[in-house]
Structure 1
Protein backbone atom coordinates (compact mmCIF):
# COMPACT_ATOMS: atom_id res chain seq x y z
CA UNK A 1 0.00 0.00 0.00
CA UNK A 2 1.37 3.41 -0.98
CA UNK A 3 2.06 6.19 1.53
CA UNK A 4 -0.78 8.19 0.02
CA UNK A 5 -3.28 5.35 0.45
CA UNK A 6 -2.12 4.76 4.01
CA UNK A 7 -2.59 8.43 4.76
CA UNK A 8 -6.09 8.39 3.29
CA UNK A 9 -7.10 5.22 5.13
CA UNK A 10 -5.79 6.48 8.47
CA UNK A 11 -7.37 9.92 8.10
CA UNK A 12 -10.02 10.49 10.71
CA UNK A 13 -13.55 11.06 9.53
CA UNK A 14 -14.63 14.65 9.83
CA UNK A 15 -17.48 15.09 12.29
CA UNK A 16 -20.90 15.98 10.95
CA UNK A 17 -21.61 19.49 12.19
CA UNK A 18 -25.07 21.02 12.11
CA UNK A 19 -25.95 24.61 12.83
CA UNK A 20 -29.04 23.55 14.78
CA UNK A 21 -31.43 26.00 16.41
CA UNK A 22 -30.55 29.69 16.14
CA UNK A 23 -32.28 32.94 17.06
CA UNK A 24 -33.19 33.99 13.54
CA UNK A 25 -34.87 37.17 14.75
CA UNK A 26 -31.64 38.33 16.38
CA UNK A 27 -29.57 37.43 13.32
CA UNK A 28 -31.96 39.25 10.97
CA UNK A 29 -32.05 42.29 13.26
CA UNK A 30 -28.26 42.47 13.15
CA UNK A 31 -28.31 41.99 9.39
CA UNK A 32 -30.71 44.91 9.03
CA UNK A 33 -28.43 47.07 11.20
CA UNK A 34 -25.50 46.23 8.93
CA UNK A 35 -27.50 47.11 5.83
CA UNK A 36 -28.43 50.41 7.43
CA UNK A 37 -24.77 51.11 8.25
CA UNK A 38 -23.77 50.10 4.73
CA UNK A 39 -26.21 52.49 3.14
CA UNK A 40 -28.71 49.99 1.69
CA UNK A 41 -30.68 52.19 -0.78
CA UNK A 42 -33.72 49.91 -0.36
CA UNK A 43 -33.66 49.73 3.43
CA UNK A 44 -37.29 50.76 3.70
CA UNK A 45 -38.16 47.58 1.78
CA UNK A 46 -36.21 45.32 4.19
CA UNK A 47 -38.61 42.43 5.02
CA UNK A 48 -39.85 41.60 8.50
CA UNK A 49 -37.90 39.17 10.69
CA UNK A 50 -40.48 36.42 10.21
CA UNK A 51 -40.01 36.47 6.42
CA UNK A 52 -36.67 34.67 6.26
CA UNK A 53 -36.66 33.80 2.57
CA UNK A 54 -37.64 37.35 1.59
CA UNK A 55 -34.86 38.69 3.82
CA UNK A 56 -32.35 36.47 2.03
CA UNK A 57 -33.62 37.62 -1.36
CA UNK A 58 -33.44 41.28 -0.37
CA UNK A 59 -29.94 41.05 1.12
CA UNK A 60 -28.62 39.15 -1.89
CA UNK A 61 -30.06 41.73 -4.29
CA UNK A 62 -28.60 44.72 -2.41
CA UNK A 63 -25.32 43.16 -1.23
CA UNK A 64 -23.20 44.83 -3.94
CA UNK A 65 -24.71 48.21 -3.10
CA UNK A 66 -23.38 48.24 0.49
CA UNK A 67 -20.35 50.35 1.32
CA UNK A 68 -17.98 50.23 4.27
CA UNK A 69 -18.51 53.37 6.38
CA UNK A 70 -15.29 55.11 7.39
CA UNK A 71 -16.37 55.66 10.98
CA UNK A 72 -17.16 51.98 11.73
CA UNK A 73 -14.44 49.49 12.69
CA UNK A 74 -16.52 46.36 11.98
CA UNK A 75 -16.39 44.89 8.49
CA UNK A 76 -19.98 45.79 7.62
CA UNK A 77 -20.07 44.22 4.16
CA UNK A 78 -18.22 41.08 5.24
CA UNK A 79 -20.28 40.49 8.38
CA UNK A 80 -23.51 40.99 6.44
CA UNK A 81 -22.43 38.38 3.91
CA UNK A 82 -21.42 35.97 6.69
CA UNK A 83 -24.81 36.33 8.36
CA UNK A 84 -26.45 35.52 5.02
CA UNK A 85 -24.36 32.34 4.86
CA UNK A 86 -25.56 31.41 8.36
CA UNK A 87 -29.20 32.04 7.48
CA UNK A 88 -28.93 29.98 4.28
CA UNK A 89 -27.42 27.12 6.29
CA UNK A 90 -30.28 27.36 8.77
CA UNK A 91 -32.80 27.39 5.94
CA UNK A 92 -31.15 24.37 4.30
CA UNK A 93 -31.32 22.34 7.51
CA UNK A 94 -34.95 23.32 8.03
CA UNK A 95 -35.72 22.47 4.39
CA UNK A 96 -34.16 19.01 4.73
CA UNK A 97 -36.25 18.24 7.80
CA UNK A 98 -39.41 19.69 6.23
CA UNK A 99 -38.92 17.82 2.97
CA UNK A 100 -38.36 14.56 4.81
CA UNK A 101 -41.58 15.08 6.77
CA UNK A 102 -43.47 15.78 3.53
CA UNK A 103 -42.07 12.58 2.01
CA UNK A 104 -43.20 10.63 5.07
CA UNK A 105 -46.71 12.11 4.85
CA UNK A 106 -46.92 11.28 1.14
CA UNK A 107 -45.76 7.70 1.72
CA UNK A 108 -48.28 7.30 4.54
CA UNK A 109 -50.94 8.45 2.07
CA UNK A 110 -49.96 5.69 -0.35
CA UNK A 111 -47.85 7.65 -2.86
CA UNK A 112 -45.50 5.21 -4.70
CA UNK A 113 -41.79 6.00 -4.98
CA UNK A 114 -41.84 6.61 -8.74
CA UNK A 115 -44.22 9.55 -8.20
CA UNK A 116 -41.47 11.37 -6.30
CA UNK A 117 -39.09 11.52 -9.28
CA UNK A 118 -39.93 15.06 -10.41
CA UNK A 119 -40.36 16.46 -6.89
CA UNK A 120 -36.97 15.14 -5.76
CA UNK A 121 -35.15 15.81 -9.04
CA UNK A 122 -34.29 12.17 -9.78
CA UNK A 123 -34.99 9.82 -12.70
CA UNK A 124 -35.96 6.54 -11.03
CA UNK A 125 -37.93 5.30 -8.06
CA UNK A 126 -34.67 3.84 -6.70
CA UNK A 127 -33.14 7.31 -6.89
CA UNK A 128 -36.13 8.76 -5.03
CA UNK A 129 -35.84 6.15 -2.30
CA UNK A 130 -32.07 6.66 -1.95
CA UNK A 131 -32.47 10.44 -1.73
CA UNK A 132 -35.13 10.08 0.95
CA UNK A 133 -32.81 7.78 2.89
CA UNK A 134 -29.96 10.31 2.66
CA UNK A 135 -32.28 13.02 3.98
CA UNK A 136 -33.20 10.74 6.86
CA UNK A 137 -29.54 9.96 7.55
CA UNK A 138 -28.79 13.68 7.77
CA UNK A 139 -31.39 14.02 10.55
CA UNK A 140 -30.31 11.04 12.64
CA UNK A 141 -26.61 10.50 12.02
CA UNK A 142 -23.98 10.82 14.73
CA UNK A 143 -20.92 13.07 14.28
CA UNK A 144 -18.76 10.15 13.09
CA UNK A 145 -21.32 8.83 10.59
CA UNK A 146 -21.73 9.62 6.92
CA UNK A 147 -24.90 10.89 5.25
CA UNK A 148 -25.84 7.64 3.53
CA UNK A 149 -28.84 5.31 3.11
CA UNK A 150 -26.98 2.66 5.12
CA UNK A 151 -26.76 5.00 8.13
CA UNK A 152 -30.48 5.79 7.85
CA UNK A 153 -31.38 2.09 7.71
CA UNK A 154 -29.15 1.34 10.70
CA UNK A 155 -30.80 4.04 12.78
CA UNK A 156 -34.26 2.93 11.67
CA UNK A 157 -33.45 -0.66 12.63
CA UNK A 158 -32.23 0.52 16.04
CA UNK A 159 -35.35 2.65 16.54
CA UNK A 160 -37.65 -0.26 15.69
CA UNK A 161 -35.73 -2.55 18.06
CA UNK A 162 -36.08 0.02 20.87
CA UNK A 163 -39.80 0.33 20.20
CA UNK A 164 -40.21 -3.48 20.30
CA UNK A 165 -38.27 -3.65 23.57
CA UNK A 166 -40.42 -0.91 25.08
CA UNK A 167 -43.66 -2.64 24.01
CA UNK A 168 -42.40 -5.88 25.58
CA UNK A 169 -41.52 -4.05 28.81
CA UNK A 170 -44.90 -2.35 29.02
CA UNK A 171 -46.78 -5.60 28.36
CA UNK A 172 -44.76 -7.51 30.96
CA UNK A 173 -44.98 -4.82 33.63
CA UNK A 174 -48.68 -4.15 33.06
CA UNK A 175 -49.43 -7.82 33.72
CA UNK A 176 -47.80 -7.41 37.14
CA UNK A 177 -49.67 -4.19 37.93
CA UNK A 178 -52.54 -5.62 40.06
CA UNK A 179 -50.08 -7.08 42.56
CA UNK A 180 -47.88 -3.99 42.33
CA UNK A 181 -50.89 -1.84 43.23
CA UNK A 182 -51.68 -3.87 46.36
CA UNK A 183 -48.05 -3.75 47.46
CA UNK A 184 -47.90 -0.04 46.68
CA UNK A 185 -50.83 0.65 48.99
CA UNK A 186 -49.03 -1.20 51.79
CA UNK A 187 -45.86 0.83 51.24
CA UNK A 188 -47.86 4.05 51.31
CA UNK A 189 -49.64 3.01 54.51
CA UNK A 190 -46.37 2.41 56.35
CA UNK A 191 -44.40 5.18 54.62
CA UNK A 192 -43.24 6.88 57.88
CA UNK A 193 -41.64 3.65 59.09
CA UNK A 194 -39.07 3.32 56.30
CA UNK A 195 -35.49 4.55 56.58
CA UNK A 196 -34.88 6.00 53.14
CA UNK A 197 -32.16 7.74 51.18
CA UNK A 198 -32.92 10.71 48.96
CA UNK A 199 -33.42 8.43 45.92
CA UNK A 200 -35.56 5.91 47.81
CA UNK A 201 -37.68 8.79 49.08
CA UNK A 202 -38.06 10.03 45.51
CA UNK A 203 -39.38 6.67 44.27
CA UNK A 204 -41.67 6.33 47.26
CA UNK A 205 -43.09 9.79 46.54
CA UNK A 206 -43.71 8.69 42.93
CA UNK A 207 -45.70 5.74 44.27
CA UNK A 208 -47.70 8.02 46.59
CA UNK A 209 -48.40 10.59 43.86
CA UNK A 210 -49.49 8.14 41.15
CA UNK A 211 -51.13 5.24 42.96
CA UNK A 212 -54.68 6.41 42.17
CA UNK A 213 -53.87 7.84 38.74
CA UNK A 214 -52.92 4.86 36.55
CA UNK A 215 -55.17 4.71 33.47
CA UNK A 216 -53.02 3.74 30.48
CA UNK A 217 -50.89 0.65 29.93
CA UNK A 218 -47.73 2.78 30.03
CA UNK A 219 -48.75 4.41 33.33
CA UNK A 220 -49.47 1.02 34.91
CA UNK A 221 -46.17 -0.39 33.65
CA UNK A 222 -44.26 2.60 35.01
CA UNK A 223 -45.94 2.27 38.40
CA UNK A 224 -44.67 -1.31 38.61
CA UNK A 225 -41.20 0.02 37.86
CA UNK A 226 -41.54 2.60 40.66
CA UNK A 227 -42.02 -0.28 43.15
CA UNK A 228 -38.90 -2.03 41.86
CA UNK A 229 -36.78 1.11 41.94
CA UNK A 230 -37.86 1.89 45.50
CA UNK A 231 -36.91 -1.63 46.60
CA UNK A 232 -33.44 -1.38 45.07
CA UNK A 233 -32.72 2.03 46.50
CA UNK A 234 -33.91 1.32 50.06
CA UNK A 235 -31.92 -1.93 50.28
CA UNK A 236 -28.81 -0.28 48.88
CA UNK A 237 -29.10 2.51 51.44
CA UNK A 238 -29.59 0.01 54.27
CA UNK A 239 -26.52 -1.97 53.16
CA UNK A 240 -24.37 1.16 52.95
CA UNK A 241 -25.48 2.47 56.35
CA UNK A 242 -25.66 -0.95 58.09
CA UNK A 243 -29.16 -0.49 59.43
CA UNK A 244 -32.57 -2.09 59.02
CA UNK A 245 -34.59 -0.50 56.19
CA UNK A 246 -37.85 -0.64 58.16
CA UNK A 247 -38.47 0.26 61.81
CA UNK A 248 -41.81 -1.50 62.36
CA UNK A 249 -42.95 -5.06 61.80
CA UNK A 250 -45.72 -3.95 59.44
CA UNK A 251 -43.32 -1.92 57.31
CA UNK A 252 -40.81 -4.80 57.30
CA UNK A 253 -43.48 -7.21 56.01
CA UNK A 254 -44.61 -4.75 53.33
CA UNK A 255 -41.02 -4.28 52.20
CA UNK A 256 -40.49 -8.04 52.19
CA UNK A 257 -43.45 -8.48 49.84
CA UNK A 258 -42.16 -5.68 47.62
CA UNK A 259 -38.71 -7.26 47.57
CA UNK A 260 -40.07 -10.68 46.60
CA UNK A 261 -42.21 -9.01 43.94
CA UNK A 262 -39.17 -7.23 42.51
CA UNK A 263 -36.84 -10.22 42.40
CA UNK A 264 -39.17 -13.21 42.11
CA UNK A 265 -38.42 -13.67 38.39
CA UNK A 266 -34.83 -12.46 38.67
CA UNK A 267 -32.87 -14.98 40.77
CA UNK A 268 -29.35 -13.97 41.69
CA UNK A 269 -29.95 -10.26 41.12
CA UNK A 270 -30.02 -9.12 44.72
CA UNK A 271 -26.41 -8.24 45.57
CA UNK A 272 -27.46 -5.38 47.84
CA UNK A 273 -29.29 -7.86 50.10
CA UNK A 274 -26.14 -9.92 50.62
CA UNK A 275 -24.18 -7.13 52.30
Structure 2
Protein backbone atom coordinates (compact mmCIF):
# COMPACT_ATOMS: atom_id res chain seq x y z
CA UNK A 1 0.00 0.00 0.00
CA UNK A 2 1.43 3.35 -1.04
CA UNK A 3 2.24 5.70 1.77
CA UNK A 4 0.30 8.97 1.69
CA UNK A 5 2.39 11.84 0.49
CA UNK A 6 3.43 14.30 3.16
CA UNK A 7 1.58 17.59 2.92
CA UNK A 8 3.93 20.43 2.14
CA UNK A 9 3.67 23.49 4.37
CA UNK A 10 2.90 26.81 2.74
CA UNK A 11 6.15 28.66 1.95
CA UNK A 12 5.05 31.65 4.04
CA UNK A 13 3.87 29.63 7.04
CA UNK A 14 6.11 30.11 10.09
CA UNK A 15 8.03 27.15 11.44
CA UNK A 16 6.43 25.33 14.32
CA UNK A 17 9.72 24.94 16.17
CA UNK A 18 12.24 27.60 17.02
CA UNK A 19 15.61 26.71 15.43
CA UNK A 20 18.29 25.90 17.98
CA UNK A 21 21.06 28.49 17.88
CA UNK A 22 24.34 28.98 19.68
CA UNK A 23 23.63 32.67 20.15
CA UNK A 24 26.04 35.20 21.59
CA UNK A 25 28.61 34.30 24.24
CA UNK A 26 32.13 35.29 25.30
CA UNK A 27 34.19 33.64 22.57
CA UNK A 28 37.43 35.20 23.81
CA UNK A 29 36.93 33.51 27.18
CA UNK A 30 36.47 30.12 25.51
CA UNK A 31 39.60 30.63 23.40
CA UNK A 32 41.39 31.58 26.61
CA UNK A 33 40.32 28.28 28.18
CA UNK A 34 41.58 26.38 25.13
CA UNK A 35 44.86 28.29 25.32
CA UNK A 36 45.20 27.19 28.94
CA UNK A 37 44.65 23.53 27.99
CA UNK A 38 47.50 23.77 25.49
CA UNK A 39 49.75 25.54 27.99
CA UNK A 40 49.04 22.84 30.57
CA UNK A 41 49.98 20.25 27.92
CA UNK A 42 53.32 22.06 27.36
CA UNK A 43 52.43 22.75 23.71
CA UNK A 44 55.66 24.15 22.28
CA UNK A 45 53.70 26.12 19.65
CA UNK A 46 51.47 27.98 22.09
CA UNK A 47 53.53 31.14 21.69
CA UNK A 48 52.48 31.31 18.03
CA UNK A 49 48.77 31.16 18.83
CA UNK A 50 46.84 34.32 17.78
CA UNK A 51 45.18 36.55 20.37
CA UNK A 52 41.98 35.38 22.05
CA UNK A 53 39.97 38.02 20.14
CA UNK A 54 41.15 36.68 16.75
CA UNK A 55 38.60 33.90 16.71
CA UNK A 56 39.03 32.55 13.18
CA UNK A 57 42.84 32.49 13.20
CA UNK A 58 42.89 31.07 16.73
CA UNK A 59 40.59 28.22 15.70
CA UNK A 60 42.78 27.38 12.73
CA UNK A 61 45.83 27.31 14.98
CA UNK A 62 44.10 25.09 17.56
CA UNK A 63 42.95 22.73 14.85
CA UNK A 64 46.41 22.33 13.38
CA UNK A 65 47.94 21.73 16.82
CA UNK A 66 45.18 19.57 18.33
CA UNK A 67 47.66 16.68 18.60
CA UNK A 68 49.60 18.58 21.25
CA UNK A 69 46.92 17.59 23.76
CA UNK A 70 47.85 14.12 25.05
CA UNK A 71 45.12 13.75 27.68
CA UNK A 72 41.92 12.29 26.21
CA UNK A 73 39.65 14.33 28.46
CA UNK A 74 41.42 17.53 27.40
CA UNK A 75 41.19 16.45 23.75
CA UNK A 76 37.46 15.88 24.06
CA UNK A 77 36.83 19.16 25.89
CA UNK A 78 38.87 21.15 23.38
CA UNK A 79 37.25 19.52 20.36
CA UNK A 80 33.71 20.16 21.64
CA UNK A 81 34.61 23.78 22.37
CA UNK A 82 35.94 24.16 18.82
CA UNK A 83 32.74 22.67 17.40
CA UNK A 84 30.74 25.24 19.36
CA UNK A 85 32.94 28.10 18.22
CA UNK A 86 32.71 27.06 14.55
CA UNK A 87 28.90 26.89 14.87
CA UNK A 88 28.96 30.38 16.36
CA UNK A 89 31.04 31.59 13.42
CA UNK A 90 28.62 29.99 10.97
CA UNK A 91 25.70 31.87 12.57
CA UNK A 92 27.63 35.13 12.55
CA UNK A 93 28.59 34.61 8.89
CA UNK A 94 24.90 34.51 7.91
CA UNK A 95 24.22 37.74 9.77
CA UNK A 96 27.18 39.67 8.40
CA UNK A 97 26.92 38.33 4.86
CA UNK A 98 23.29 39.45 4.78
CA UNK A 99 24.34 42.93 5.90
CA UNK A 100 27.02 43.01 3.20
CA UNK A 101 24.40 42.11 0.58
CA UNK A 102 22.16 44.92 1.85
CA UNK A 103 25.07 47.37 1.57
CA UNK A 104 25.91 46.15 -1.94
CA UNK A 105 22.31 46.54 -3.08
CA UNK A 106 22.10 49.99 -1.50
CA UNK A 107 25.22 50.93 -3.46
CA UNK A 108 23.51 49.97 -6.72
CA UNK A 109 24.73 46.39 -7.19
CA UNK A 110 22.51 44.20 -9.37
CA UNK A 111 21.75 40.60 -8.48
CA UNK A 112 23.92 39.59 -11.43
CA UNK A 113 26.86 41.37 -9.76
CA UNK A 114 26.39 39.19 -6.69
CA UNK A 115 26.31 35.86 -8.55
CA UNK A 116 30.05 35.07 -8.18
CA UNK A 117 30.23 36.54 -4.66
CA UNK A 118 27.43 34.25 -3.46
CA UNK A 119 28.79 31.22 -5.36
CA UNK A 120 25.61 30.69 -7.37
CA UNK A 121 24.93 30.41 -11.11
CA UNK A 122 22.16 32.92 -11.80
CA UNK A 123 20.80 36.26 -10.56
CA UNK A 124 17.60 34.55 -9.40
CA UNK A 125 19.68 32.13 -7.33
CA UNK A 126 21.56 35.07 -5.81
CA UNK A 127 18.25 36.68 -4.88
CA UNK A 128 16.91 33.47 -3.33
CA UNK A 129 20.10 32.88 -1.37
CA UNK A 130 20.00 36.44 -0.06
CA UNK A 131 16.43 35.90 1.12
CA UNK A 132 17.41 32.68 2.88
CA UNK A 133 20.17 34.57 4.66
CA UNK A 134 17.64 37.22 5.68
CA UNK A 135 15.55 34.46 7.24
CA UNK A 136 18.54 33.62 9.45
CA UNK A 137 18.89 37.28 10.38
CA UNK A 138 15.21 37.53 11.28
CA UNK A 139 15.44 34.40 13.41
CA UNK A 140 18.54 35.69 15.21
CA UNK A 141 17.41 39.27 15.80
CA UNK A 142 13.79 38.51 16.72
CA UNK A 143 13.97 35.42 18.93
CA UNK A 144 10.59 36.18 20.51
CA UNK A 145 8.77 36.00 17.19
CA UNK A 146 7.70 32.85 15.35
CA UNK A 147 10.62 31.37 13.38
CA UNK A 148 10.77 32.26 9.68
CA UNK A 149 11.15 29.63 6.98
CA UNK A 150 14.19 29.96 4.76
CA UNK A 151 12.12 30.73 1.66
CA UNK A 152 11.88 33.98 -0.31
CA UNK A 153 8.12 34.01 0.22
CA UNK A 154 8.43 33.66 4.00
CA UNK A 155 11.06 36.37 4.20
CA UNK A 156 8.99 38.79 2.12
CA UNK A 157 5.98 38.14 4.36
CA UNK A 158 8.08 38.62 7.50
CA UNK A 159 9.47 41.86 6.07
CA UNK A 160 5.95 43.04 5.22
CA UNK A 161 4.77 42.32 8.76
CA UNK A 162 7.84 44.01 10.25
CA UNK A 163 7.24 47.08 8.08
CA UNK A 164 3.59 47.18 9.16
CA UNK A 165 4.59 46.95 12.83
CA UNK A 166 7.19 49.68 12.37
CA UNK A 167 4.63 51.93 10.67
CA UNK A 168 2.15 51.35 13.50
CA UNK A 169 4.84 52.12 16.06
CA UNK A 170 5.74 55.34 14.21
CA UNK A 171 2.08 56.40 14.15
CA UNK A 172 1.75 55.66 17.86
CA UNK A 173 4.95 57.57 18.58
CA UNK A 174 3.79 60.56 16.52
CA UNK A 175 0.44 60.58 18.31
CA UNK A 176 2.22 60.34 21.65
CA UNK A 177 4.46 63.28 20.71
CA UNK A 178 1.44 65.35 19.63
CA UNK A 179 -0.29 64.53 22.91
CA UNK A 180 2.77 65.47 24.94
CA UNK A 181 3.16 68.73 23.02
CA UNK A 182 -0.37 69.69 24.11
CA UNK A 183 -0.09 68.31 27.62
CA UNK A 184 1.98 71.04 29.29
CA UNK A 185 -0.03 74.00 27.87
CA UNK A 186 -3.33 72.37 28.86
CA UNK A 187 -2.03 71.57 32.33
CA UNK A 188 -0.87 75.18 32.64
CA UNK A 189 -4.32 76.46 31.65
CA UNK A 190 -5.98 74.28 34.28
CA UNK A 191 -3.71 75.79 36.93
CA UNK A 192 -4.21 79.34 35.68
CA UNK A 193 -7.97 79.01 35.91
CA UNK A 194 -8.30 76.66 38.89
CA UNK A 195 -10.19 79.34 40.81
CA UNK A 196 -12.96 78.93 38.27
CA UNK A 197 -13.12 75.15 38.75
CA UNK A 198 -14.89 73.17 41.46
CA UNK A 199 -12.65 73.05 44.54
CA UNK A 200 -13.63 69.55 45.65
CA UNK A 201 -10.90 67.92 47.75
CA UNK A 202 -10.00 65.32 45.10
CA UNK A 203 -9.87 67.95 42.35
CA UNK A 204 -7.65 70.16 44.49
CA UNK A 205 -5.33 67.24 45.25
CA UNK A 206 -4.73 66.43 41.56
CA UNK A 207 -4.32 70.08 40.60
CA UNK A 208 -1.72 70.39 43.36
CA UNK A 209 0.11 67.37 41.91
CA UNK A 210 0.08 69.05 38.49
CA UNK A 211 1.51 72.20 40.04
CA UNK A 212 4.34 70.20 41.61
CA UNK A 213 5.51 68.37 38.46
CA UNK A 214 4.76 70.92 35.73
CA UNK A 215 7.60 73.45 36.34
CA UNK A 216 10.30 70.78 35.86
CA UNK A 217 8.56 68.35 33.47
CA UNK A 218 11.35 67.11 31.21
CA UNK A 219 11.98 63.39 31.62
CA UNK A 220 9.67 60.69 30.18
CA UNK A 221 8.74 59.67 33.74
CA UNK A 222 7.73 63.23 34.60
CA UNK A 223 5.68 63.51 31.41
CA UNK A 224 3.85 60.27 32.25
CA UNK A 225 3.19 61.57 35.78
CA UNK A 226 1.83 64.86 34.43
CA UNK A 227 -0.42 62.97 32.02
CA UNK A 228 -1.67 60.82 34.89
CA UNK A 229 -2.44 63.86 37.07
CA UNK A 230 -4.30 65.74 34.31
CA UNK A 231 -6.33 62.61 33.53
CA UNK A 232 -7.17 62.17 37.22
CA UNK A 233 -8.22 65.81 37.61
CA UNK A 234 -10.53 65.54 34.59
CA UNK A 235 -11.95 62.27 35.92
CA UNK A 236 -12.84 63.88 39.26
CA UNK A 237 -14.37 66.94 37.59
CA UNK A 238 -16.52 64.78 35.33
CA UNK A 239 -17.61 62.73 38.34
CA UNK A 240 -18.78 65.91 40.07
CA UNK A 241 -20.70 66.92 36.94
CA UNK A 242 -22.51 63.60 36.86
CA UNK A 243 -23.31 63.44 40.55
CA UNK A 244 -24.17 67.11 41.17
CA UNK A 245 -25.75 67.75 37.75
CA UNK A 246 -24.12 71.15 37.54
CA UNK A 247 -21.20 72.68 35.64
CA UNK A 248 -17.85 72.41 37.36
CA UNK A 249 -16.51 75.56 35.65
CA UNK A 250 -17.77 78.94 36.82
CA UNK A 251 -15.93 81.10 34.27
CA UNK A 252 -15.56 80.92 30.51
CA UNK A 253 -11.78 80.60 30.77
CA UNK A 254 -12.05 77.73 33.23
CA UNK A 255 -14.66 76.03 31.04
CA UNK A 256 -12.42 76.28 27.96
CA UNK A 257 -9.44 74.92 29.91
CA UNK A 258 -11.56 72.05 31.21
CA UNK A 259 -12.92 71.23 27.74
CA UNK A 260 -9.39 71.24 26.28
CA UNK A 261 -8.30 68.82 29.00
CA UNK A 262 -11.30 66.56 28.29
CA UNK A 263 -10.39 66.47 24.60
CA UNK A 264 -6.79 65.59 25.43
CA UNK A 265 -7.55 62.71 27.79
CA UNK A 266 -10.22 61.32 25.46
CA UNK A 267 -7.69 60.64 22.69
Q: When the two structures are superposed, what TM-score results if normalisation uses the length of structure 2?
A: 0.68
Write the distance in 2 (CA, Å) between the matches of 1:4 and 1:205.
70
Choose which of 162, 167, 184 in structure 2 pairs with 1:164: 167
Write the distance in 2 (CA, Å) between the matches of 1:255 and 1:79.
72
1:75-126 deviations in whole A, cap 9, x for unaligned?
2101101111111122122221111111111111111111000111111111
Choose which of 23, 45, 57 in structure 2 pairs with 1:42: 45
Write the distance in 2 (CA, Å) between the matches of 1:7 and 1:37.
55
Contact kept, 8 Å, 1:228 with 1:262, in 2: the verdict is no
Contact kept, 8 Å, 1:16 with 1:143, in 2: the verdict is no
Change (3 A) 1:14 1:27: same
- 2:70 alignment partner, SS class: coil
Write the distance in 1 (CA, Å) between the matches of 2:214 and 2:42.
62
Contact kept, 8 Å, 2:41 with 2:69, in 1: the verdict is yes
Write the distance in 2 (CA, Å) between the matches of 1:101 and 1:28.
26
Q: When the two structures are superposed, what TM-score results if normalisation uses the length of structure 1?
A: 0.66
1:136 maps to which residue? 134
Change (3 A) 1:26 1:170: closer
Q: Within 5 Å, which residues of 2 pair with 1:18-97?
A: 18-68=21-71, 75-97=73-95
What is the aligned residue count? 233
Write the distance in 2 (CA, Å) between the matches of 1:42 and 1:28.
15
Greater shift in the superposed pair: 40-49 or 106-115 = 40-49
Higher gyration radius (CA): 2
1:209 maps to which residue? 217
Write the distance in 1 (CA, Å) between the matches of 2:8 and 2:111.
37
Q: Within 5 Å, which residues of 2 pair with 1:107-146?
A: 107-141=105-139, 142=145, 144-146=147-149
Where does the alignment leave 5 or more consecutive residues of structure 1 unmatched?
Answer: 70-74, 212-221, 267-275
Work out which structure has the larger RCO, using CA pairs closer than 8 Å and 6 or more positions apart in sequence: 2
Change (3 A) 1:5 1:104: same
2:243 maps to which residue? none
1:271 maps to which residue? none
